[in-house]
């Protein structure tokens, strides 16, 4: 019976953690920023990508792509934007 109580406590701690992360996002200056920036905050607070996507109202795949694009943009990656010289 003790394990059921432990599982209940763990579940409630997860709910509390997600709630605090959501409240932190909504009360921060990032609430008007793009999804990638908001997701980065939620992930830094300990939420996974899946939970962050649910809180932001998007899909996990979409959020992963946005994070990838933001990461590449921060690194200065050009991925195919090189212009060829015309003669």
Q: What is the pLDDT of residues 12-63, one digit of tens each?
A: 988 898 899 889 888 988 888 899 999 999 999 889 999 999 999 999 999 9
Banded pLDDT at 1 (limits 50, 70, 90): very low
Which secondary structure element, helix H or strand E, spans residue 73, and what is its range? helix 60-75
pLDDT (average), residues 72-82: 70
Render 5-52 in DSSP notation, one character per residue.
Answer: HHHHHHHHHHHHHHHHHHHHHHTSGGGGS-HHHHHHHHHHTT--HHHH
Q: Are 64 and 36 in contact (CB under 8 A)?
A: no
């Amino acid at each position: 019976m003790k394990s059921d109580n432990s599982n209940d406590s763990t579940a409630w701690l997860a709910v509390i953690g997600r709630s605090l992360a959501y409240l932190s996002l909504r009360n921060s200056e990032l609430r008007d920023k793009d999804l990638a920036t908001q997701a980065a905050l939620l992930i830094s607070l300990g939420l996974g990508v899946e939970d962050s996507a649910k809180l932001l109202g998007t899909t996990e795949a979409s959020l992963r792509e946005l994070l990838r694009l933001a990461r590449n943009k921060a690194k200065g990656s050009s991925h195919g934007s090189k212009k060829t010289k015309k003669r």
